[in-house]
Structure 1
Amino acid sequence: MKLPLFLCLALTFSFTSCERHPELKRELSALGAACKQDEAAIQKLDQDIASLGGTSAISRYTEQAQLKQEQLRPLELSNPIRERQLSTMETEFARLKPAAEAYKAAHLK
């Protein structure tokens, strides 16, 4: 058997304790204060996002990052070539160093 809504509400409110009203009011005020703090934090975040360029800034930063990656890619490819050239030069200098020292020693006298 279903009880009518009015009867259910009447029974619910008739058995609530008046002793808990101050406690409930404190909880409600604490929740209200927390809500206000959360709303203030949300407004501050919205302002920060707007000052940094809004939500479209993310797409702009992504595009800029892709452009920088495209600019760096050729440099990454040319760097091993330069390293091989430097390695070749260092090997050649290491091979010529004893001869240069011998030449210096012979001509200092």
Structure 2
Amino acid sequence: MKLPPFFCCLVLCLTSLSCDRHTELKREIAALDATLKTDESATRQYDKDIAALGGREGLMHLLEQGQIKENQLRPLEFVNGPRERKLSAIETEFAKLKPAAEAFKAAQPK
């Protein structure tokens, strides 16, 4: 059985630690405890901030507003298509007329 020798070794190691190591471990534990307390304090503050902004219901409200805005913008996407085609047709006509306009300008006496 490997279990009893392991426990014997563990007990031997823990009982034979020097006093210097105990103070070092206590300092590390105190530092970790202080870090834990500041983290808990920050977590509580985040929870308060989230609750002040509406909590989980606030997220649902934002999602609903996003969906409403998306529904409002969707029809505008279809309106721009015909306008862009008309603008493209006008630009094509101007491109066709430009050489004639330049030739007319060149033919005019100054």
Q: Secondary structure at the residue paired with 2:54?
A: coil
Residue 85 of structure 2: aligned partner: 84
Please give the secondary structure, in 2, of the residue aligned with 1:71.
helix
* Aligned ranges 1:1-109 → 2 under 5 Å: 12=11, 15-19=15-19, 20-95=21-96, 98=100, 102=104
Partners of 1:68 and 1:78 in 2: CA distance: 16
Question: CA separation in 2, counterparts of 1:95 and 1:24?
Answer: 86
User: Could you state the TM-score of these two structures normalised by the residue count of structure 2?
Assistant: 0.68
Q: Percent identity, please.
A: 49
Q: Structure 1 residue 86: deviation in Å?
A: 1.6
RMSD over aligned CA atoms reads 3.4
Unaligned runs of 5+ in 1: none
- Following superposition, the deviation at residue 85 of structure 1 comes to 1.4
Structure 1: distance between partners of 2:18 and 2:96: 99
Q: Give the 4+ runs in structure 1 shifted more than 6 A.
A: none
